[in-house]
Every structure is written in C-alpha cells, then in structure tokens.
Amino acid sequence: MTDAQLLLGQTLAFDADPFATPPEAAATWRRRGGVVVREGRIVAVGEADDLRRAHPRAQIHDHGEALISAGFVDAHVHYPQTAIIASWGKQLIDWLNSYTFPEEMRFGDARFAAETAARYLDLVLACGTTTVASFCTVHPESVDAFFSEARARGLRALAGKTCMDRNAPEGLLDSAQSAYDDSRRLLEKWHGKDRLSYVITPRFAPTSTPEQLEALGALWAEHPECPMQTHLSEQLPEIDWVRRLFPEARDYLDSYERFGLLGENALYGHAIHLTGRERARLREVGAALIHCPTSNSFIGSGLFDMAGLTAEGQRIGLATDTGGGSSFSMLRTMAAAYEIGQLRGSALHPAQLWWLATQGSARALRLEGCIGNLAPGMEADLVILDLASTPAIAQRAARAESFWEQLFPTIMMGDERAVRAVWVNGAPLVRGG
C-alpha cells in the first residue's frame, strides 16, 4: 500500500443539500482541517491535529490558510467552442449559425480536435474544474480526441457525439442511422473505460428529425446506464421553432419524451422558459436541469428560476456552457448564478452556490457518490484556493466575520489566480504541465 498524503488547510464539505436544509447547517467548515488521500481516494476528512496523529507517516501538504474543496464539476460544456468563446452580438440561432457551426466544421480533423481538447482541458483545470460533461461535434474524431485527452490527464469526464440531421450546414449533418451507429460504437469504445462516461447527445430538437430522435431514444433504451444530454427551452424564438417543427408535441419537453428521450438520467441544458406541465413532468421523472448563467446573460436567453425550481425539488446542476457561456471558470459561473438570482429577487447563499458547483452538479450527473465532495470513499479530485488572491479580494476578505463572508468575495471576484493547486485522482497536477 502506498503512503497516504495529508493535505492541510481550511476545508469545506457538505453533509446535506443546502436548498433542502438551512444552508450553513448543510456544510462542515474547518478552520484547520485536513484531507487524507490514498490510492486516488479520500480516506479521511477531519481536524488537522487529529489526522496528523492518526496518520503519522502521511506526507504532509500544508496549504496554510487556503481552502481545500472538492474540484468543481461543470455539468454542460461544448469543448469544440473553446476558440469562439466571447463572440459578439448574436442571440441563440444566429450565434449558432454565425460562429458555432463554422467552428464545429473543423473537428473532422483529428489533430485539430486533439489540440483543442488538450487546450480546453488545461484551461479548465487551471480554473479548478476536475470534471466536465461535454458536447463534442458530429465527428467521431471529436469524441476520440476528447476522451483521449481526458484519459491522459486521469480525469473523470463525460462526453458524446453531437447528433444533427437537419437545420445545420451539410458538413455537420449525420443521419438517423449513422447517428445511432456512430454513437453506439463510441459508447462501446469509451463508456466505463477508466473514469470516462459516454453521453448520448442529440444537440436539440430543432436539429434532429423525428427519425433521429427515435433512433437515439432506442439507443438510450438499450443503454440506460448512460446519461443523455441535450438542450431545453433556452430562448423564446427557439421554443416557437420547436412548436412549428413538432406540431404534435404538447411542449418542448414532449418533443423529447415522445421519442424516449426523457428519463432520470437525462441532462437538460438551460431549462429557462418551462411550462407548468414541463416542470411537473421533470420533477416526476427526476431528470436534471443544468443552469448555465453566464451563457443565459451573454446570449440573452433569460433568467433561470433557481428559487422556484429548487423549492419544487428539481435536480439542478451548474455549468459554464462554454462557449455560449463567457467563462471557463466555475467561480465566475457561481457569481453569474448569484446575479441572476438577484434579478429574480432571491439571493443564493454562498453554501448553495458552492454546493451547485460541486456536489449539486455531481448529483445532476448521478456521480454524487464518486465526486463533488470531501468525504471518505470519494475520488480525490480537489481544488485548493487562496481566498485572498488579489488585492481587491484580500481587502474585502480581511473584513469578514464568518467563513461564508470570507468565501463570498472569491466567488464574486475570483478567477484562476485563486487556484493554488489542483489534485486529480489522488495526485497533484504540476503547474503548467
């Protein structure tokens, strides 16, 4: 058995859902805590002194006043959009046609795909994100590239080939049959290898024919162990378009459900403009809604109803939605979620924001038993954060009278300068490597 590693610092762990219990009671913060890691897993979390006594041979990594947390979990991204992040002036459909689709055309080139996947993963690791669920492009090469680069870094990662057989440029279209065949082959190749999960991925209802949605629904029925990810009710013109394309469907959600694309392992990005029926059905099934706040303001989509949806007991994750989202950082994403909450009249507590970016997103991905928290048995994906990383943050944190007040300036103003170290699968990443 290899020697244990003992990380010391402030620690933050969750014992409960801070939307279902008083937020501060849902978390355990230790001013001088520790995390013991051995063979890729967390084996103990507790007071620093107790852990030092219990693990006298452990190699010590003393992070002083810095905060040790579970690594961030980003539940909805498009890694192929890395190079078109922050593209100006368009709303959803025009943004897809002007920026996204031309960029995605390049991913038939395996070398280009590998280079982008590597750059993307290094960018998010620098932000403290240790798991992402990514859309790829229509090209199988884009999936192989992403999983190969994630595997080379020891990451837990989820991804799938984005299927489209209408309403996109010719070079990005597959067919109902090839979407099924390619997805199945990629699923068999990658799902469950090391820390990788394949996600069945129809892009969204407007870019799939009913035949393609049906084929992917059939694949999901054959592989219910895989998640299914897509987009739902992001912008009003998109919802009108779905109504015209699927006149028989009761609503947007029904354009998926009719084809077997609704289930407890479903991940719906955005989910802003939902009807009462859709909300009730999503709740009944236990599907996950993925909130993408920087994207929703950047593309002009609308204000996600976090307070209402959490009060109903919906399963909710948090995500950057890179490159519709304007940041790779889950700190910036938490800040945007706070701002959207404020615009709807409710202030999310820092414990709720942090939980969404870690355990909440892990729960949305149904990986809460593996990642997203500091607890014995969890995989050791960690981020260590300096809570005084810039002069502006430091001077505000110095006034704090509680841990949450100390944490909040890093949530609102922090970026990758706050990230002191990142551990993946029980080992520290070498900075810049």
Beta strand pairing status for 162-163 and 59-70? unpaired
Structure tokens at 302: 């609308």
Contacts of 170 (CB under 8 A, 6+ apart): none
Distance between CA atoms of 174 and 272, rounded to whole angstroms?
A: 28
**Distance (Å, whole) CA 145 – CA 124:** 16
Q: Which of 5, 11, 69, 100 binds ligand GUN (CB under 6 A)?
A: 100
269 binding Zn ion? (CB under 5 A): yes
- Smallest separation, CB 280 to Zn ion (Å): 24
| 33 upstream amide cis, omega within 30 of 0 | no
Nearer to ligand GUN, 207 or 310 (CB): 207
Inter-residue contact 38 to 76 (CB < 8 Å): no
- CB-wise, 96 or 163, nearer to ligand GUN? 96
Interaction of residue 202 with Zn ion, rule CB under 5 A? no
Could you tell me where the DSSP H helices lie in 105-197?
Answer: 110-126, 140-152, 176-190
* Site map (CB under 6 A) of ligand GUN, residues 213-242, x = contact: ------------------x--x--------
For ligand GUN, the nearest residue by Cβ is: 324
Closest CA to 160 of 177, 139, 176, 175: 139
Query: Which partner from the list Zn ion, ligand GUN, none does 61 bind, CB cut-off 5 to 8 Å by kind?
Result: none
Instruction: Tell the smallest beta-carbon distance from residue 352 to ligand GUN (Å).
Output: 23
**What residue type is 327 in one-letter code?**
S
Figure out which of the listed residues 257, 321, 381, 415 binds ligand GUN, where binding follows CB under 6 A: 321
Task: Give which of ligand GUN, Zn ion, none residue 234 binds (C-beta under 5 to 8 Å, depending on kind).
Answer: ligand GUN
C-beta neighbour count of 302 within 10 angstroms: 16
Residues 264-303: x/- map of binding to ligand GUN (CB under 6 A)?
A: -------------------------------x---x----
Which of 49-57, 92-100, 119-127, 145-153 is the region at the interface with ligand GUN (rule: CB under 6 A)?
Answer: 92-100
Nearer Cβ to ligand GUN (136/382)? 136
Site string for ligand GUN, 169-208 (x = CB under 6 A): ----------------------------------xx----
The listed partner (Zn ion, ligand GUN, none) that binds 203, CB under 5 to 8 Å by sort, is ligand GUN
Helix (H) or strand (E) holding 338: helix 330-343
Q: Could you tell me if 334 and 357 are in contact, meaning their C-beta atoms sit under 8 angstroms apart?
A: yes
Q: Which is nearer to ligand GUN, 294 or 389 (CB)?
A: 294
In angstroms, give the least distance from the CB of 77 to ligand GUN: 10
Judged by beta carbon, residue 154 or residue 302, the one nearer ligand GUN is: 302
Pick between residue 78 and residue 273 the one whose CB is nearest to ligand GUN. Answer: 78
Residue 255 host element (H or E): helix 252-257
Asked if 103 touches ligand GUN (CB under 6 A), the answer is no
Q: How far apart are CA 192 and CA 201, in angstroms?
A: 17
* H or E element that contains 50: helix 48-54
Q: How buried is residue 289: exposed, middle or buried, by Cβ count under 10 Å (0-12/13-18/19+)?
A: buried
Give residues with Cβ within 8 angstroms of 246, minimum separation 6: 205, 210, 254, 255, 258
Query: Of 55, 61, 78, 396, which lies in the binding site for ligand GUN, with binding defined by CB under 6 A?
Result: 78
Q: What tokens appear for 191 in the block?
A: 């799902």
Binding residues with ligand GUN: total (CB under 6 A): 12
Distance CA 44, CA 376 (A): 5
Q: Which residues bind ligand GUN (CB under 6 A)?
A: 78, 92, 96, 100, 203-204, 231, 234, 295, 299, 321, 324
Q: Which residues bind Zn ion (CB under 5 A)?
A: 269, 321
